[in-house]
Amino acid sequence: MIYLDNSSTTHKKPLSVKLATLKGVSSLSVNPSRAGHKLALKGAEKIYNTREQLANYLGTTPDNVIFTSGCTMALNLAIRGTVQRNGHIITTIFEHNSTLRTLEALKSTHNIEVSYLTPNKLGQITTNSITNAIKENTYMIIINHTSNVTGHTQNIESIGKVCKKHHLLFLVDGAQSVGHHRIDMKKNNINLLTIAGHKGLYAPEGIGALLINNIKVTPLIYGGTGTHSDKLKQPTDYPDGLESGTPNIVGILGLAAGLNFVTKHEKQISKKITKLSIFAFDELSKIKNVTLYADKNNGVISLSVKGKSSTTISDILDEKYHICTRSGLHCAPLIHKYYNTAKSGLTRISISYFNKKSDIKKLIFAIKKIALD
């Protein structure tokens, strides 16, 4: 089997991640911060160490690292936890439904306005388009750092400067970029950064995080935190006040191991994914009846084949060639409307560090056969 659906979830995990999750299940199945025994304290220490790792890697402080069930929950917490009634938010057509559907719900509950920006010919959201969209009641800009459909990566440093100049909150969806691109929240004036552990950080599913910088976020979920248990009101301090319930210690240990792996092999990972991505893009672009929708450097390539739906293409790749890809709208409907691919969808190839050039060669061979059949 050739797995090229890594933007959904990285299938192959580093050995260190497998061992860390196994250790979590076998020897650290405890409820950290809820008990005072040694094993619980050891679990709490492991969790804090992971917060510290993430904070150092992404430019915030350990207490501002909030563990979530994934990037979807992190985005909901970030958007709902900072919502301003009658306010205006600027975002883009690249966004995932985790953002789009949350904003749509807030239109009716909090009367917010939303502006959806389109990219230029290079797939970039320009600072001019952002500046022109700012209104008196604008309070936040939300940017999908790397598109899960096309791989286009936005210049968050320049966008962060616009946010700072106009005193706007800056939320970055890092689901596809963290682990592939270095992000410094302080340097880039990012207030809220969401991550998905099971993608570029090679962690297991079910673990993500919201990282916070210079902004107050109200809880999304209320309940036990292990602190201030005598009070009925939810604690307001971080991270406890935003992390009700038993933490996913197995996922957190896996996330720590994945982050260690990425940090150690950062240059090799980036170089290999870029090299494979360019090779795939260049060769696929030569095939008749194939149209590509991609930034060819970032390991994400979506394509269409004339006369065939994305589902048909992915099914053939799976059943005949044993190649795993993703078809459909990829939970990002606005970018498909922009590219006029909402009906047929797109077949997405997403590359991991663990893929080989031979995988890409087999994919190219299969797409040629499908396109010319």
Summarised one tens digit per residue, pLDDT across range 321-353 is: 999 999 999 999 999 999 999 999 999 999 999
Helices (H), the chain: 15-27, 38-58, 71-80, 97-110, 127-133, 156-165, 249-264, 266-284, 310-321, 333-338, 357-372
In whole angstroms, give the CA distance from residue 252 to residue 209.
10
**CA distances (Å), origin 32, targets 45, 48, 190, 240, 257:** 8, 10, 30, 12, 19
Residue 24 pLDDT class (50, 70, 90 cuts): confident
Residue 368 corresponds to which amino acid?
K
Average pLDDT of the segment spanning 146-160: 97
A 10 A CB-CB count for 369 gives 13
Percent of the chain with pLDDT over 90: 90
What contacts 224, CB < 8 A, 6 or more positions away? 34, 244, 245
> Each residue of 69-122: pLDDT tens digit?
999 999 999 999 999 999 999 999 999 999 999 999 999 999 999 999 999 999
Handedness of CA 116, 119, 120, 124 (dihedral sign): positive
Handedness of CA 272, 273, 279, 282 (dihedral sign): negative
Cβ burial, residue 313 (10 Å; 0-12/13-18/19+): buried
| pLDDT at 229 exceeding the cut of 90 | no
The answer to whether residues 119 and 152 touch, using CB atoms and an 8 Å cutoff, is yes
Average pLDDT of the segment spanning 47-73: 97
Residues in the chain: 373
Tell me, what's the pLDDT at 8? 97
Percent of the chain with pLDDT over 70: 100
The answer to whether residues 102 and 151 touch, using CB atoms and an 8 Å cutoff, is no
> Each residue of 262-287: pLDDT tens digit?
999 999 999 999 999 999 999 999 99
Q: Which residues of 239-271 are buried (b: 16+ CB within 10 A; e: fewer)?
A: bbbbbbeebbbbbbbbbbbbbbbbeeeeeebbe
Average pLDDT of the segment spanning 312-329: 97
List phi, psi (to 5°) of 304. -130, 150
Average pLDDT of the segment spanning 288-298: 95
Tell me, what's the pLDDT at 202? 98
* Closest among 8, 33, 22, 23 to 243, alpha carbons compared: 33
| pLDDT at 32 exceeding the cut of 90 | no
Bigger pLDDT: 370 vs 227: 370
3-class DSSP assignment, residue 322: coil
Tell me, what's the pLDDT at 28? 83
| pLDDT at 34 exceeding the cut of 80 | no
- Mean pLDDT taken over the chain: 96
Tell me, what's the pLDDT at 16? 97
Report the predicted TM-score, pTM, of the whole model to 2 decimal places. Answer: 0.96
Cis check: omega of the bond before 239, within 30 degrees of 0: yes
